[in-house]
Structure 1
Amino acid sequence: MSSRYTFGGDEHIFVEVDEAMSLDAFFVSLSMTNAIREAQIDGVTEICPANASFQVKFDPDRIHPDDLMARLKELEETAETAEPVLDTRIVEIPVYYQDPWTHETLMRFRERHQDPEATDIEYAARINGYDSVAAFIEAHSGAPWFVSMVGFVSGLPFLYQMVDRERQIQVPKYLRPRTDTPKLTVGYGGCFSCVYSVRGAGGYQMFGITPMPIFDPEQTVSYLEDFMVFFKPGDIVKWKPIDRQEYDAAVAQVQAGTYAPRIAKVRFSLNDYNADIDGTNARLLEALHAD
C-alpha cells in the first residue's frame, strides 16, 4: 500500500492511503495520524482523519511545507510496521426500521429517487438481491460496523460493514439531495451507513431512526456530559432492530436522563479479523452481551 501525498493550498497536506475504503487502509491512516500526534511536530495545528485518508493543517511560518512532507513520509514507514491492534469499544445502537418519520420524509422526495415507486429500504433490498425487506434488515443489523470517521456535520459517524467484500451492501445516494432529513435517521450511501446527528439536508437512503442521541452541544444527555459527540473513529457498532413500543420507551428514558447505551470494551486485531471475519465478529458480539 503506497500513500499519495499532495499539498492543499498553503496550509494543508492531504495523504490518500488508498483509493478504496478498507479496514487495512483505515488502520494505516489511524496509525499515521496517531504517530503524527505523538511526534508533536512544531507547526502542525490540526490532524483530520478520514475513511482511507487524512489531512494535516500546519503553519508555514513555523515549518516549511517540504520539511513537513518529508517528516510525514518518515512516519509512514513506522506506521506500516505497527501491529494493527486497537483497544476500542463495541456499542449497541437501537434502530426503529421503517419508522413513520423517515417514511413521511422519503415520500415527499420521491421525484429525487432512483425508484419513485418504492421506499428507500425496499429499493435497497431489491438492488442488493434480497427477497424481502426483513431479509435486508437482518443483513444490515446482523454483523457489526466499524466507525471509520466522524464529521461532515458535527457528530455524524460513517460506518463500514464488517463482512467480506462480496457481502457488503451497496446503495447509491439519491439522484438529487433532499432538503430535509429527520434527526437521528439511520442512512446509507455507497458502502457506508451513517446516523444523521441533526436535522437537515441529505442524500443518503433512509432506513430507520434511532432514539439514541449522538450529538448534544448543550451536554444535557446523561451519557454525553463529558463530551458532546458520542462516536469516535475506531468504535464498533451493532444495530439492534426495535419496534415502536421499544422506541417510545427509549425516548422516555433519554428524556428522563436514565438511558444508558450498551457498551463493552474490546480489543480488535486486524490480522485476526482478516483471518476469520465471521469468527471475529461473533467474539465481538459475545463481548457486547456478556454480563
Structure 2
Amino acid sequence: MKNRYSFGGDEHLFVECDESMSLEAFFKSLSMTKAVKASGIRGITEICPANASFQIKFDPDVISPGDLLREVQAIEDAAERAEPVIGTRIIEIPVFYQDPWTHETLMRFRERHQDPKATDLEYAARINNYATVEDFIAAHSGAPWFVSMVGFVAGLPFMYQMVDRPRQLQVPKYLRPRTDTPKLTVGYGGCFSCIYSVRGAGGYQMFGITPMPIFDPEQKVSYLRDFMVFFRPGDIVKFKSVGREEYDQTVADVEAGRFAPAMRDVTFDLTEFQKGIDAYNAKLEGAIHGR
C-alpha cells in the first residue's frame, strides 16, 4: 500500500502507511520516521510515530506544505527499498497476573463490562477459545511484543505481539471507560497490549500489574535517571509471569535502587522473522540472559 497523506491544519502532515496494524506497516512507519529525522528537512519541529502511521509537525513559515509533502514522498520511495532490519533491545518485563489490585478495580466497574459476571481474564480467555485463564496467560506471555508507539499518556507503550495472524489475541475495550486504573497495569484492547504508566482512567481489559516503573518524571528510579520514559518504538518486550513473592521482592529492589531490567541489545530482521516465527522468537528470548 502506498502511503496516504493528509494535512492537519497549517502545521501538521499525517502519513498513514496502512489501514490495519501489521509488523510490515510498523516497519515502514518506523523506517520513514527515522529517515525523515536523518534528512534534516528544514522546518520540521516534531515527528510523532504511531502504530502504522506517523505525524510531522512543521513550521509553514520555513517550509511550505507542498514542499514538505514532496520531500517526504521522496523518502517513502527510498524507505520501500530499505532492508527491514533494525537495531533494538529485548526487555524482560515481570507481570503479576491476577493480582489483587487490578482485581479490586475491575470488580468496581463490572457494569461497564461486556460480561459483568466474569473477570477480565476469564472473559478474554473465553472469547479467544482458551479453556482456562492459565492457558490465556501462557499465550499472552508466550511470545514477545513489539512496542509500536509510546503515548496517549506519558510513557505508555502500545505493544503488538510477534505471532502469525491466526494466533493474534483479540479483546475489545470496556463498553464504557473506567474512571480508575492502577498504575503499571498490564492492559489489553483490540490487538494491543499496554502498560498504564500512571494511575487514571482507562478502557483496556486488565490482566495484571508489573512491579517495574516505566515512567518517572522525577527521575529517581535508578534506570530512569537519564530519561524519564523507559520505552521507545521498536523495543521488543517479553512478559515474564511472576507470583506475589517475586513481585514484592522486585518492588523492594526498585525502591532500594537495586533493580535493573533484564535486557540485551539485538538486531531484528523482519525477513528472517517471517521465515520461522517461533524459532526466531526463541532466539530473541535466549538473548535476554545471554543464552
Same fold (TM > 0.5): yes
Q: Secondary structure at the match of 1:171?
A: coil
Inter-partner Cα distance in structure 2 for 1:285 and 1:206: 25
Amino acid at match of 1:10: D
> Hey, what does 2:173 align to over in structure 1?
173
Amino acid at match of 2:249: A
Is 1:138–2:151 an aligned residue pair? no
> Hey, what does 2:231 align to over in structure 1?
231
Task: Write the deviation string for residues 252-275 of structure 1: whole angstroms up to 9, x where unpaired.
Answer: 001101011100111100000111
> Hey, what does 2:117 align to over in structure 1?
117
Identity %: 72
Amino acid at match of 2:279: G
> Hey, what does 2:63 align to over in structure 1?
63
Q: Name segments (4+ residues, structure 1) moved above 2 Å.
A: none
> Hey, what does 2:77 align to over in structure 1?
77
Q: Secondary structure at the match of 1:172?
A: coil
Task: Write the deviation string for residues 214-261 of structure 1: whole angstroms up to 9, x where unpaired.
Answer: 000000000001000000000000000000111100000011010111
> Hey, what does 1:282 align to over in structure 2?
282
Inter-partner Cα distance in structure 2 for 1:42 and 1:86: 26
Deviation at 1:289, TM superposition (A): 2.2
Task: Write the deviation string for residues 39-61 of structure 1: whole angstroms up to 9, x where unpaired.
Answer: 11111111000000000000111
Aligned residues: 291
Inter-partner Cα distance in structure 2 for 1:99 and 1:289: 26
> Hey, what does 2:27 align to over in structure 1?
27
Q: Which runs of 5+ in 2 are unaligned?
A: none
Inter-partner Cα distance in structure 2 for 1:149 and 1:216: 18
> Hey, what does 2:93 align to over in structure 1?
93
> Hey, what does 1:251 align to over in structure 2?
251
Inter-partner Cα distance in structure 1 for 2:259 and 2:46: 34
Give the alignment's Cα RMSD to 1 decimal: 0.6
> Hey, what does 1:214 align to over in structure 2?
214
Amino acid at match of 2:276: D
Q: Secondary structure at the match of 1:199?
A: coil
Q: Secondary structure at the match of 2:21?
A: coil
> Hey, what does 1:269 align to over in structure 2?
269
Question: So what's the TM-score if we normalise by structure 2?
Answer: 0.99
Inter-partner Cα distance in structure 1 for 2:268 and 2:250: 29
> Hey, what does 1:14 align to over in structure 2?
14
Q: What are the equivalent positions in structure 2 for 1:155-174 lying under 5 Å apart? A: 155-174=155-174
Q: Which runs of 5+ in 1 are unaligned?
A: none
Question: So what's the TM-score if we normalise by structure 1?
Answer: 0.99
Q: Secondary structure at the match of 1:33?
A: helix
